[in-house]
Chains A and B, each alone.
Chain A
Amino acid sequence: MDKSHEPFAGLARASPERPIDAERAAELTTLIDRLRAGRIDRRSFLRRSCALGLSLAAGQMLLGALATTAAQDTAPRRGGTLVAGFSADPAGFDPVRGPSGMSHVVIEQIYSTLMALDPDAKPYPELAESYDVSADGLQYTFKLRPGVLFHNGDELTAEDVKFSFDRLRAKDSGYSYGAQVETIAGVEVIDKYTVQFKLSKRTGPFLIYMAFPGSSIVPKKLVESGHDLNATPIGSGPFKFVSYQPRTAIKFERNATYFQEGKPYFDAMEYRIISDITALTNAVTSGEINFSNEIPPKDWAAVQSNPDLVGVTLEGSRYNWLLANTTKPPLDNPKVRQAVAHAIDREALVKGAFFGQATPILGGVVPQWNWAYADIQYFKPGGDPAAAKALLAEAGFPDGFETSMTIASSFPAQMAMAPIIQANLAAVGIKAKIGTMEIPRYWDEVWSTSNFDITTMYWLSPLADPDDFLTNNYKCDMAINVQKYCSKAMDDLLEAAKTAATEAERKELYRQVTQLSLDEMGQVPLVNGWLLIAHAKALQNYKPMRTGFLKTLKDAWFAG
């Protein structure tokens, strides 16, 4: 269960210096009761809780937690249809195919996984009742819940689990996330409800991989009989697939035999595909649809002022970075890349391109909410032109240099950042000429061919594991490492961190990775754009997820 249900859990985290003793806790409880009964207002609550030794932040946090608890007080209500809008069309519904993020937000509703991620991206057992890891970390044994049914009525057993992973691991399976299953040496069925994974080496993010939509468990018997999951997906998830009209809509209905009794609460869901983002926003603000997690930052104020909508923000992992081509002089010089990195006013980017709805990245790319966050304050939020100029002089370019910046015109945030970055660079003597290109051309002529001096891009990690954040960005020859950064030291550190025995060891190694990533400036981190979600006021108990996924929709309901 998510910790935010428990008001004191958040408190203990917020002010570790003053643990709450029993007496003060009792007083607090009285205060909370009075607040709930409406006998005191929020302001007096804050004042009095401060008097009890709570920091203002902790008090506000408590108020926030209470708001959630208040929502919890009303019992979940069955019924209604969630109509959510998305800009992309899914690329199939078979977990082994579905190479796109849009496929995954469909797949996660229809299928279940051994593990699942909570809103803070921590794994918990889903289809598994419990799991056991051997001391050497090479053997994971999952005990399955008995009586879980696929939508066709078959029971989900260890055989289905083995089948699903053998299918992903098969040669030429075409699975886009093959790296996630490459350390699985074998999957063994111990008994009907017990399945064991043998790994070829320690795999730090293994449980996170088990929660990834690609790792969904598919019905063995059905698939072997020739059923096409891509056309009609069948899983054991909270919602059953009803229909898909290409580029228009995907319809789901409630799975009455879902193993979490009583859930889901909606009778049905519909994902509408609205490729134009302005039209999507209009659809939300006019009430045509009642959920969207793709609100553009420029429309956020309008969403918040709309009395029929609730706006929810959360920092996830939507990095925006600047890529300086490490094969092109003078950007092949780490000092020059550092100069570029220091020149940028990240606060201006947050304000100018994200309308305040982003966090400036002041150190490495692992965000602060993640367990592997390395608290390295490397950049000044407003930029450090003096440091940039000094670095340029050191590198032999006291007067700067001329370069170019190619931006994909289809991404509004990238387009909005470009002139700010250009001005920041100009202030330290780097004259960058901006060129723009429509996205298919950009992928073809700029991105995949590394044909640029400087470009910017954003990427969303669907895994929320530090390995995913860092390996994709910094390991030699990774698909999104188009700046061609390559360092043996970095690759070794990344491998060591991924295969380390404990989380503490991993955390220390990721701190070293982060430090190295800044020393060599393999790419220039800019800002982390928040998830911006708008939904109808009637929607209750919806908890946004750091990964941007929508698994928690099964826990939400519409108020009567």
Chain B
Amino acid sequence: MPRTAGAAAALAATKRRPAMFRLIALRFAIFVPTLFAASIVLFIAINVVPGSAAKAALGIDATAQAIARFEAQYGLDRPLHVQYLDWFGKALKGDFGTSFQNHVPVGPEVLLRLPVTLELAALAFLIANLIAVPLGALAAFHHQRKTDAAITFLATVFGAIPNFWLATLLILVFALTLRWLPAGGYAPFGAKPLTNLSQMAMPAVSLGVVSSALLLRIMRTAMIEVLASDYIRTAFAKGATRAVVIWRHAIRNALIPYLTVGAVEFGFLFGGVVIIEDIFLLPGIGSLVLVGIINRDYPVLLAAALVVTVVVLTVNMLVDIVASLLDPRQVRAKAAT
């Protein structure tokens, strides 16, 4: 069934290619200015936060001379707009500066860390969806019955749990007490796939469970709406089986609003990795953001935050494209704007 649905969508997509191209081009066109604006906002935000980078890097026994030498070395004694333009010019060429803390170039470090965070976010998102889609759909089928109430309650609980609390609880149970899973650490999937998955399990669950709450509610609402619509009744009236109705008509249509919210949720997930990566010792972008903030390590923070921005923008763009494949009306509407 899903195969035919996909084929039909692809066929439909071919027919409306010009509109689709326009949409993608439009998305790309706003991508770069958005990034530029984000970098300015980030740069300002970082600099208005109280605390001096030099003093944070040099610590307790920093002398006035040492602070002055540090600020001269990193150009922190120049006006803010000069600092920004200098940074931006170099960043365009792929040079994101060196960390104030360990004096190592930031760009390569960010690239090295990106796969860790992408894997974590993807796994967490997968878990969130595996919880949200079936449970959301199930709740909708049993709308206003006990199953629905139980699932809705569960969603409320999931939504109320802070992910770092869940993480700590999981460590306590599965790492420190039962000793089934490592408390933290990271081995690349390519090198040691099983170790990698055992290390990713708890962080992905901590993030995924919490993220599933909103997605579950969206799925449920969307499904309830779809199930109540005329075309579903028509489909049943025409004698279609329950499976056909659900898979071909209901879920596909419910996924359209779900996807849009999902993209936003993926962005949140990317933000959630900051604390979770730190707890589970994952050397990703999130833990980099954290040490960047703690140490006022501006080059690190800027590069890490920009990578997050790029990922979130990309995901939103992809979701827009996928959503329009599922719902042709969106292409026309968005391309027109």
Contact = CB atoms under 8 A, between A and B. Distances in A.
Interface in B276-293: 278-281, 283, 287-288, 290-291
Nearest to A85: B281
Contacts of A274: 184, 281
B176 A444 contact: no
B62 interface: yes
A283 B62 contact: no
Given A276-B278, A283-B281, A480-B61, 12 more contacts: A97-B103, A174-B69, A230-B103, A285-B183, A440-B51, A440-B56, A440-B294, A443-B55, A444-B52, A447-B55, A479-B60, A480-B60
A245 to B, nearest CB: 7
A490 B69 CA distance: 30
6 A-B pairs closest in CB distance? A440-B51, A286-B183, A440-B56, A443-B55, A479-B61, A282-B183
B101 A285 contact: no
19 contacts: A89-B101, A99-B66, A244-B104, A246-B102, A275-B287, A279-B280, A282-B184, A285-B176, A288-B185, A288-B281, A439-B56, A443-B51, A447-B55, A447-B60, A448-B52, A448-B62, A459-B60, A459-B61, A480-B60
Contacts, number: 113
Interface in A34-79: none
Interface residues of B, number: 42
B184 A288 contact: yes
B294 A275 contact: yes
A259 to B, nearest CB: 30
Contacts of B57: 91
A100 interface: yes
B182 interface: yes
Interface in B204-230: none
A260 interface: no
A457 B60 CA distance: 9
Given A89-B291, A91-B103, A282 B56 contact: no
Interface in A330-380: none
Interface string A485-518: 0000000000000000000000000000000000
Interface residues of A, number: 41
A383 interface: no
A90 interface: yes
Contacts of B117: none
A188 B291 CA distance: 44
A33 interface: no
B283 A247 contact: yes
Contacts of B280: 279
A202 to B, nearest CB: 25
A443 B52 contact: yes
A286 B60 contact: no
Contacts of A438: 51
Interface in B105-138: 109, 112
Interface of A is mostly: loop
Contacts of B283: 245, 247-248
A92 interface: yes
Contact of A282 (B52, B62, B104, B175): B175
Nearest to A280: B281
A176 interface: yes
Q: Which among A288, A410, A443 has the highest number of chain B CB atoms within 10 Å?
A: A443
A445 interface: yes
B179 interface: yes
Interface string A258-289: 00000000000000101110110011011010
Interface of B: 50-52, 55-63, 66-67, 69, 99, 101-104, 109, 112, 171, 175-176, 179, 182-185, 278-281, 283, 287-288, 290-291, 294-296
Contacts of A278: 279
Contacts of B175: 282, 286
A472 B63 CA distance: 12
Contacts of B296: 440
A441 interface: yes
Interface of B is mostly: loop
A289 to B, nearest CB: 9
Q: Which among A97, A99, A244 has the highest number of chain B CB atoms within 10 Å?
A: A99
B60 A440 contact: no
Interface in A176-195: 176
B101 A91 contact: yes
A436 to B, nearest CB: 14
Interface string A467-487: 000001000000110000000
Contact of B171 (A92, A272, A282, A447): A282
Contacts of A457: 60
Q: Which among A92, A275, A285 has the highest number of chain B CB atoms within 10 Å?
A: A275
A443 B179 CA distance: 40
Interface in A84-106: 89-92, 97, 99-100
A440 B291 CA distance: 12
B295 to A, nearest CB: 7
Interface in A214-260: 230, 244-248
Contacts of B62: 443, 448, 479
Contact of B278 (A248, A279, A410, A441): A279
Nearest to B288: A247
B182 A288 contact: yes
Nearest to A445: B50
Contacts of A443: 51-52, 55-56, 59-60, 62
Contacts of B50: 440-441, 444-445
A245 B104 CA distance: 10
